[in-house]
A and B are shown apart, each in its own frame.
Chain A
C-alpha cells in the first residue's frame, strides 16, 4: 500500500496500482453512511460502521474488476459489518440487561422509532429490508451482495416485514 501526495491510499493489486480509495470514499461514503444510520441507533455508531466497512474493503485482497460491481460490493461489506454489529449489540444488551436499551436513548421522532424497530428484529432481516426498501436494491442484487440465494432474500424480506411491524407496534409506533 502506498500513499499519494494528497494522502489517497492505493493498494497495489498484482502489478497494477489499485483503487483510489479517496475517490471511492467521496462517492460512496455518504450513501453507505445513510444506509448504516438506518440500522443503528446513533450517528456515531453509523460512522464507525461505515469506516469499518471501508477498512474491510481496503483490507480485502480482491477488488471488483468491473466498476459497476464496486457499489454492491461495498454494500455487501457494509451489510456484513452491520450484521456483526447488530448481533454483537443484541448479545451484549440481552444477556445481563434483559434486552432493554439504556434509558437515556429515547426515540424522539419517527425515524428513531423505525431504527429501534429495525434494531429489534433479526439483523439479517433488518439489513435485507434496508437494502431493499431504503437503498432500492432488487432481491437478486441483495442475494449477490449477501452471498445467499434470491429465495433466501425473499424469505428474509417477508419475515422481516412481519417482525418489523410487530416490533414497530410494540415500541409505540402506529401503522
Chain B
C-alpha cells in the first residue's frame, strides 16, 4: 500500500477523483490486496456510522417550567453562573451545609429532570427598595438622606448599612444607580429573596445555583450570578461569605462581572440537573457491607465516606488490572436513579493511576492534616471538578483516591473527601 493510494481511497469517499487519479487508483487496487482491504474497511465503517438510530422518543415540547411564568423570560439569555470561590482551607471546613441538603433542597425546588436554562430566574433589579438606574431622588425617597456622599470615581452615597453607587458622574450632574452594596445588619433583600447576612444555602436556593466553590488561599468565598433582568439587561448579584457561611456583603450591579481573577473564575452550567430523589439513610451501611464483601480481594484498605452529595445506594465494583497496578481498584458510584447525576470514587494502590501534578490543577488541597490533594476545578470545558490524592490508610496500604462528579461542585468533593475514613478491620 502506498500512502498516495491510501489518501486517494480516503478522498474518494467524499468526492469524485479526477480521471487520472481514478485510473491510477483503479490500477493500483487491482494489484494491491492491502489497499482493497483498506477500502473495504472504510466502506464498512461508513455503513456502520450511517446505520440509523432506533426510533427515539422526543420530549413533547421544549421543557418550560410552567409553574414559574417569570422564568420563561430568562431563556433570552440564560444565566451564566460564575463562582469565584476563594476559600481558605480552614474557612472551607466551616462553609458547611447540612448533610444532603444541597442536592435534596435543589431537587425539591426543581421537579423537572431536564433542562434548566428556562428555569433560571431573571434577576430582579432592586435591592431593598433601591432600583438599578434609579435617580438620586428615588434613592432618597427609599432610604432617606445619605450619611455621606463621596466622589470615588463614581459618586457613592453611604448609609449605615448600604452604599449606593451612581454612574460615574458628579454630584452636580447626578447619574443613575449602577450598584447597590449592602452589609448586615441591613437585612436588605433582593427580588429573589436573598438577604444580606443570608447563608450559602439560601443563596443557592434563591438563585437555583448548585455549582459552587473553588479553592483558593483567601478566607472568603464569593458567589456571583450573572443574568438578565426581566427587560433583558445584564444584572449581577454577588455575595461574599465569611468563614461561617454568612453573607457579609450583598451586591446588585448593572452589567456583568467579568473575571475577578481569571484562574479562579469557574463558569458552569447551572443549576443542578437533578430531579427529586429519595435519599436513603442506609447508604453508608450498605456501602460498608459491600466493601467488606470484597475486602479480601483488595491490596489496600479503602476509605469509606461519611458524607456524599447524593445519598443513595452506591454501586460498588472492582476493576482488575487497574492502571499500572497489578491489584484491583475499587469503585463506588452514587447515582441518582433515573438521572445523570452521580458521584464517583475510585481507589487503588498508590501509583496505579495518574497522580502526578497537573498543570491546571490546584495543588495542596487539604484533605486532612498531612494529606493534600489536587483539584481540577469546575471549568466550562470540563464536566466537573476532579479531586485526587494519595493517602496511607494502614501500614503498607498507600491508597490512590479520586473523586469526581459532573454535577457536583468542587467544594462538595472536598467535603466528601474529608469525610472519608479507612474501613475498620
Q: Which residues of A contact B (CB under 8 A)?
A: 1, 3, 7, 9, 11, 21-22, 25, 29-30, 33-34, 37-38, 42-48, 51-52, 54-55, 58-59, 84, 87-89, 91-92, 95-98, 100, 102-104, 110-111, 114, 118, 129-130, 132-134, 139, 154, 157-158, 161-162, 164-165, 168, 173, 175
Question: Known contacts A44-B340, A161-B45; can you find 9 more A-B pairs with CB under 8 A?
Answer: A33-B56, A55-B78, A87-B381, A96-B388, A100-B319, A104-B333, A157-B10, A158-B7, A161-B13
Q: Nearest 4 pairs between A and B by C-beta?
A: A92-B383, A96-B402, A158-B10, A34-B53
Inter-chain CA distance A130–B48, complex, in Å, is 10
B61-69, B198-206, B214-222, B286-294: which lies at the interface: B61-69
Contact A165 B41 (CB under 8 A): yes
Contact A175 B115 (CB under 8 A): no
User: Would you give the shortest CB distance from B302 to chain A, in whole angstroms?
Assistant: 16
**Contact A1-B317, Cβ < 8 Å, known A102-B333, A161-B10:** no
Contact A3 B72 (CB under 8 A): yes
Contact A154 B14 (CB under 8 A): yes
A-B contact pairs, 22 of them (CB 8 A): A1-B72, A3-B64, A7-B61, A9-B75, A21-B62, A34-B53, A37-B53, A44-B340, A45-B340, A59-B77, A87-B381, A96-B402, A97-B344, A97-B402, A98-B353, A98-B354, A100-B319, A102-B331, A114-B49, A133-B46, A165-B42, A173-B48
Inter-chain CA distance A168–B46, complex, in Å, is 12
Residues of A contacting B59 with CB < 8 Å?
Answer: 29, 47, 51
- With an 8 Å Cβ cutoff, the count of chain B residues facing the other chain is 64
Residues of B contacting A162 with CB < 8 Å?
Answer: 10
Contact A154 B62 (CB under 8 A): no
Contact A111 B51 (CB under 8 A): yes
Residues of B contacting A54 with CB < 8 Å?
Answer: 62
Contact A1 B76 (CB under 8 A): yes
Residues of B contacting A38 with CB < 8 Å?
Answer: 49, 53
Contact A88 B115 (CB under 8 A): no
Contact B331 A103 (CB under 8 A): yes
Contact A161 B46 (CB under 8 A): yes
Contact B317 A104 (CB under 8 A): yes
The residue in A9, A91, A96 that gathers the most chain B C-beta atoms within 10 A of its C-beta is A96
The 0/1 profile, CB within 8 Å of A marked 1, for residues 31-71 of chain B is: 00000000011101110111111101011011110100100
Residues of A contacting B311 with CB < 8 Å?
Answer: none
Secondary structure at the A interface, as helix, strand, loop or mixed, is helix
Residues of B contacting A102 with CB < 8 Å?
Answer: 331, 333, 344
User: Would you give the shortest CB distance from A174 to chain B, in whole angstroms?
Assistant: 9
When the two chains form the complex, which single residue of B44, B114, B358, B384 contacts A175, counting CB atoms closer than 8 Å?
Answer: B44
Q: Which residue of B lies closest to A157 (CB)?
A: B14
When the two chains form the complex, which single residue of A84, A111, A118 contacts B54, counting CB atoms closer than 8 Å?
Answer: A111
Inter-chain CA distance A115–B358, complex, in Å, is 29
Inter-chain CA distance A102–B344, complex, in Å, is 9
Inter-chain CA distance A89–B63, complex, in Å, is 24
**Contact A175-B41, Cβ < 8 Å, known A96-B386, A133-B46, A162-B10:** yes
Contact B115 A48 (CB under 8 A): yes
User: Would you give the shortest CB distance from A45 to chain B, in whole angstroms?
Assistant: 6
Contact A164 B49 (CB under 8 A): yes
Contact B340 A1 (CB under 8 A): no
Q: Which residue of B lies closest to A135 (CB)?
A: B50
Inter-chain CA distance A97–B42, complex, in Å, is 31
Residues of A contacting B322 with CB < 8 Å?
Answer: 98
Q: Which residue of B lies closest to A58 (CB)?
A: B75
